[in-house]
Amino acid sequence: MSKNGLLILITSVAALGGLLFGYDTGVINGTQFYFSKYFELDAVMKGWVVGSALLGCLVGALAAGPMTKTMGRKVSLIIAALLFTISALGSGLPSFLPQSVTLLVVFRIIGGLGIGLASMAAPTYIAEIAPADRRGVLVTFYQLAIVTGFFVVFLATYFIGQNYTPTENIEVGWRWMFWSELIPCGLFLLLTFFIPKSPRWLVMVGREDEALKVLNSLHSTEIAQKEIAEIRMSLNQERKTERKEVSIWQKAALPIVLIGSALSLLQQTTGINAVLYYGGDIFEKALGFGQEDVLQQQILLGAVNFIFTFVAMFTVDKFGRKPLILIGSFGMLTGFVLLGGSLYLESVGLVSLIGVLMFIASFALSMGPVTWVLLSEMFPNKIRSMAMSIAVAIQWGGNYIVSQTFPIMAESEANISGAWNKSLPYVVFSIFIIILIIFTKKYIIETKGKSLEQLEEVWAEKYGKIES
């Protein structure tokens, strides 16, 4: 196999963590439509069951920083695969045990731990094995895997649902939807044993010969020597003052951490996961689709999400990160204006569906993949693990807040029978998208084509050098 082929293969294996991220979070869309009816959940409890996994994601993301540093990126991915497997198996177990929402929540939280861990370990691993000129497209493999997971699980839940009547889906169908995740879990768990360790982590723990061997297997000798020299120089600077803990609160570091964290939070406040998690409710209650059509419409969402992620992959290293965010943000805003406007004017129909799909497409070519690319690139080496962990944890915190509050807001008296005519959630999300546009123009720097070490110099010029 060629070096380029091996690089893509290893990247694809690591990106399976993203596929399970998408699968595990996407499976809640099809299942919650039925288990909410099975357990007779009100809006608050529905938000808790759906959002509980996100609390696990937050804890997993916080633990990912020290775990990936001490145990390595590869071992962290293996642990994430184990957590995914336990969650997938356990989420369907209430059929054999006393029926309990609490038990379902426990296994959803375990899955969330795996997602939080993988959400940092996988893109970090990919960024550390990729050459600078291809890092953008290779890290985007992770986002492609996430949306592939969403699309595959929407297909899986649709075909599982087709084998049962609506009543049977409420009783047992949703359990098989959870168990379907065991197939990709097993594949990920097996393949992660065969990928190499991160070369940067190997140098970090004093195994430079192994690191050079990994880099030589993936890149030309010239690029491998350049990469390991840059890694060595960066780590040597850190080790000169290794007894001193590098604080993220210092003047030069804090603005970078805040920018990355704000970007993570704004990714969630666009409303993407309200659409992906509660698509069934949106199609049934807001757009008037029947129960038999809900799973089919989710496939349409997944397909659009999948297709437009390819657009991002082929443009992120050509157009740059910042232009894609701005283009996508205006597209997302237009989509929600169409959806919210049609709901407010009580003219639900084709325009409403186009609005939903336009929002999904715009997110898929911008904030979906580009956020992960930026987070994997923007943090200086001295604070990368901690800063990435905080940013990803905040992302999951924002995801939880949106997931918990969306059903409450959507099913509130003010939204349903008040002056808003079911448009309130989309007005709120539109305001946050406008904030995202302003924030991106003012604070996001372009990272296209720059090495991780070159980006440190960009930040140093802007906010000063980070002191050890």
Report residue 274's pLDDT band, with 50, 70 and 90 as the boundaries: confident
Amino acid letter at 98? P
What's the pLDDT at 294? 64
What's the pLDDT at 243? 47
Structural domain contains residue 227? no
Structural domain contains residue 29? yes
Would you say residue 38 has pLDDT above 60?
A: yes
Q: What is the CA radius of gyration of the chain?
A: 22
What's the pLDDT at 280? 66
Structural domain contains residue 258? yes
> Angle at the Cα of 23 (from 115 to 97), degrees rounded to 5?
85
Structural domain contains residue 323? yes
Alpha-carbon gap, residue 165 to 161, rounded angstroms: 8
Alpha-carbon gap, residue 189 to 344, rounded angstroms: 47
Report residue 468's pLDDT band, with 50, 70 and 90 as the boundaries: low
Structural domain contains residue 202? no
- CA atoms within 13 Å, Cβ hemisphere of 427: 13
Span of 143-147, 213-217, 371-375, 441-445 with lowest mean pLDDT:
143-147
CATH of the domain at 453: 1.20.1250.20
Alpha-carbon gap, residue 154 to 142, rounded angstroms: 19
Structural domain contains residue 398? yes
Structural domain contains residue 232? no
Structural domain contains residue 222? no
Residue 165 tokens, joined: 């009547």
Alpha-carbon gap, residue 412 to 422, rounded angstroms: 9
User: What is the percentage of the chain residues whose pLDDT exceeds 90?
Assistant: 27
Alpha-carbon gap, residue 41 to 46, rounded angstroms: 6
Span of 144-148, 271-275, 340-344, 408-412 with lowest mean pLDDT:
144-148
What's the pLDDT at 399? 85
What's the pLDDT at 145? 86
Count of domains in the chain?
Answer: 1
Could you list the residue range(s) of the whole structural domain that residue 169 is in?
3-195+241-463
